[in-house]
Chains A and B, each alone.
Chain A
Amino acid sequence: MSVHEAAHGHMEIPFTVEARPDTGLYNGKLGVWLFLASEVMLFGALFSSLILIRTGAAEWPKGWEELHVIPATINTFVLIASSVFVVMAWANLRLRNLKVARMWIAATLLCGFAFMGIKAYEYSLSFQHHHFPKTSNFFAIYFTMTGLHGLHVLGGMVVFGYFLTKGWSMAETEPKRFTNRIEIVGLYWHFVDLVWIFLFPTLYLL
């Protein structure tokens, strides 16, 4: 702590940007991984529910017959691309290429819009076929899991949107702290991609 801080009468919170020596982590990095651990349990509970209901069901429809595989496959590519975009953004921030980094973040956000758009289209196709959550447990779990996943995508998009606009000034005033923030939201975003990587085959292909 600096003497300056002592004079203010209080310490600043340490290790917000620089890593703590014995753990090698800054606070936000540890925080986001803990949050992701809880998300593993959240989606794990849903996958567990899916397996439990499916194994207990007398009959279970074929995912590719009830759902629309092509839009979902495109969405898989979209999310994977968005993951690579955000990690490129982070790399460029570390190189202090701010303009390039900003483009990559915008590209990530665009992928988010694409994903949600395609998803909305998929849902509308289902509704047209009179497939709603209450139609059967298959559709119930499909809409619930993809819906919750979609909410997570939206959440990430909101954060990216903030960093692109109001939050961008920190990229110039406190570049290291901003880079860390993009790293943190990037980790969250990769996790959202990871959930979809499992969700897609489980619901659509099995």
Chain B
Amino acid sequence: MAQKRQVRVGSQWMYARDAEKALGEALRVMKEEEGHGHHESFVTKYLFSQDHKWIGVQYGFTALCFLLFGFFLMIMMRLQLGWPNQPFAVIKWFFHGTGTMLPEQYNQLGAMHGTIMVFLAIVPLAVGAFGNYVVPLQIGAPDMAFPKLNMASYWCYLPGGIIMLLSIFLLGQQGGAAQSGWTSYPPLSVIASQGQTWWLVGMIFLITSSLLGSVNFIVTIIQLRAKGMTWDRLPFFVWAQFVTSFLLLLAFPPLEAAGVLQLMDRVAGTSFFLPSGLVVSGEVLKNAGGGNPLLWQHLFWFLAHPEVYVLILPAMGIVAEVIANNTRKSLWGYRSMVGATVFLGFMSFVVWAHHMFMTGMGTVISAFFQTTTMIISIPSVIILSALFITLWGASIRFTTPMLFALAFLPMFGIGGLTGLPLGLATTDIHLHDTYYVIGHFHYVVAPGTIFAMFAGIYYWFPKVTGRKLNDTLGRIHFWGSFVCINGIFMPMFYQGLAGVSRRLFDGGLQYAHAKAAAAATNPFMSQAAIGLFIFQLPFIYNFFKSIWWGERVGANPWQATTLEWAAAASPPIGHGNFAVPPVVRRGPYEYSIPGAATDFLTQIDEDGGPALPAPAVAPPHAPVVA
């Protein structure tokens, strides 16, 4: 029985028998290492780190910077939309000139806002940051399967992002950044100014980064699960990342191919996407012709539809973790949620042309895509319902992460439901390319995914830093954001139904049928956008202040069950995750077990044994031997 006793070695709790072994070897190794140093330079430890935790931090920090920048681009757009053709100092500072926005400037903002948010902010945050940091910990692995590849994937992401940014700042005189939408439809994108070429090159870097990352995630989850971590004991967050990685692996390459083809059209004079006899500015283009703009659309949307599931699945994973933890209940319908996620991943590959209903497709192919699109709404409903049902009869702790996770549910619900008339070809006739579409997808990504990202930040911040974010500032951040974000996006459904088209630099005022709706709502929405910006300030302040001066906490401040909480608070970089390989003995959400001594058992607790007590506040970077 003495073997079952738990002792604390440094900041890690372990069973006595393991401690005995570890301590004996530690003394031996310490003597050995006295001879040769185990030193890493700053460059290898922090700049080109191969530790998944630090790479996760790199991704997180970089992605949050891009998120803020993409947000700033949107603020400028909303200034123009709310008060069209009024000069603003910030627009003058950004674009130089008179301070009144020009149409091509608005188009640049639109294209870069979308690109930055999707490819440089959300996915790197959801997958690169949260996925990298949490997944190996949650499966009991020492790191990702290929640490060097992990490092390479971050260092493809950063140059790609910088190239995108440079296109905005360097090309003011030569036509500016990409301005053909984040969708880059030819022929417009092919004849557009230089910025589009930079966009294409940046995308190739980003796609490469994504590819390297997805291989790493899949191999890690399949091969590096700890002993006893069977597929049915995986936290839902890991399942979500697993399916997401398959989407990235198989859906991105066609866009890479398309990007190469568009680059060839722009740089080598080919006509993959240029039809014969194209007239530009009154002159017939002198190229070979024979190309097809729809080829781009098919290849682009083949990726871009699975991409939206890449945006939402990790978010659902985070929300599931936070809800289970703060309801003190197991997730309702875990198996259904996993099955729905896998089915969703598969279906996501066969719905893409619902983005092309207005391109003149035949009735058979349109009906096919409409059917698959309707079918794919089912797994989302299953997942959302399971999360709602989990709340039923729960004793809910309204922690800051839980507020964001709870808000996610109805917000994603609105986003999902408003997608239905877009997925039906007939109603899409009226709604396509209107603000209704913008409202729909922003609801799923902004109060949807981004709220889930905030939930994840508030939830895992203590694990990364060993400190908590301030709760009062968190609540201000939440309530302000929640109100303002609905203020921005809810009126968009009304605008869309009234016929206000998207991508109009004056917000719809040029069209008689849309003018009234636009004028009635745009100023209010822009005020809400400014409000949303203001309410991010407490978060930014909270974030930086808490890294150094936040309230210190132990390894498991949320009394959570999953394995990442069994590692030390703020596990040190470069020294692996678990001093002893964990052995998993139970499922991921063993909360409120009748008869247990505490209201949760972690995945490594022995049967019937007490939960591992959260250690007293651990000194950071504690060595293995106390």
Contacts and interface: CB of A to CB of B under 8 A. Distances in A.
Whether A and B touch (Cβ < 8 Å) is answered with: yes
Interface string B210-222: 0100111011001
A116 interface: no
Contacts of B251: 41
Interface secondary structure of B, over-half rule: helix
Interface in A136-169: 136-137, 140-141, 143-144, 148
Contacts of B224: 13-15, 27
Contact of B291 (A30, A53, A143): A53
Interface residues of A, number: 48
Nearest to A7: B25
A6 B22 contact: yes
B253 A134 contact: no
Contacts of B580: 1, 6
Nearest to B576: A10
Interface string B231-271: 00000000000000000011111101110110010001111
Nearest to A136: B288
A38 B252 contact: yes
Interface stretch (A42-50, A71-79, A198-206): A42-50
B29 interface: yes
B352 interface: no
Residue among B252, B261, B623 having the largest count of chain A Cβ atoms under 10 Å: B261
Interface string A1-32: 10110111111111100001001010100110
B575 interface: yes
Interface stretch (B141-149, B152-160, B437-445): B141-149
Contacts of A10: 142, 575-577, 579
Contacts, number: 164
A146 to B, nearest CB: 13
Task: Give the one of B149, B214, B260 with max A CB within 10 A.
Answer: B260
Contact-residue bracket for chain B: 35 or more
B222 A3 contact: no
A12 B142 contact: yes
B223 A23 contact: yes
Contacts of B28: 7
B581 interface: yes
A133 B211 CA distance: 28
Contact of A6 (B27, B146, B215, B579): B579
Contact of B271 (A8, A45, A140, A148): A140
B55 to A, nearest CB: 15
B396 interface: no
Contact of B253 (A7, A42, A49, A141): A42
Interface string A28-69: 001100110111011111101100110011100000000000
A135 B271 CA distance: 9
B272 A140 contact: yes
Contacts of B577: 10-11
Given A52-B295, A56-B292, A134 B249 contact: no
B473 to A, nearest CB: 35
B201 interface: no
A11 B216 CA distance: 18
A12 B147 CA distance: 11
A25 B261 CA distance: 36
Given A42-B253, A134-B268, A137-B271, A30 B219 contact: yes
Interface in B188-232: 211, 214-216, 218-219, 222-224
A31 B215 contact: yes
Contacts of A140: 264, 268, 270-272, 288
A45 B254 contact: yes
Contacts of A6: 18, 21-22, 25-26, 579-580, 624
B578 A11 contact: yes
A48 B251 CA distance: 14
Contacts of A25: 223
Closest 5 A/B residue pairs (Cβ): A10-B576, A134-B269, A7-B25, A45-B254, A42-B253
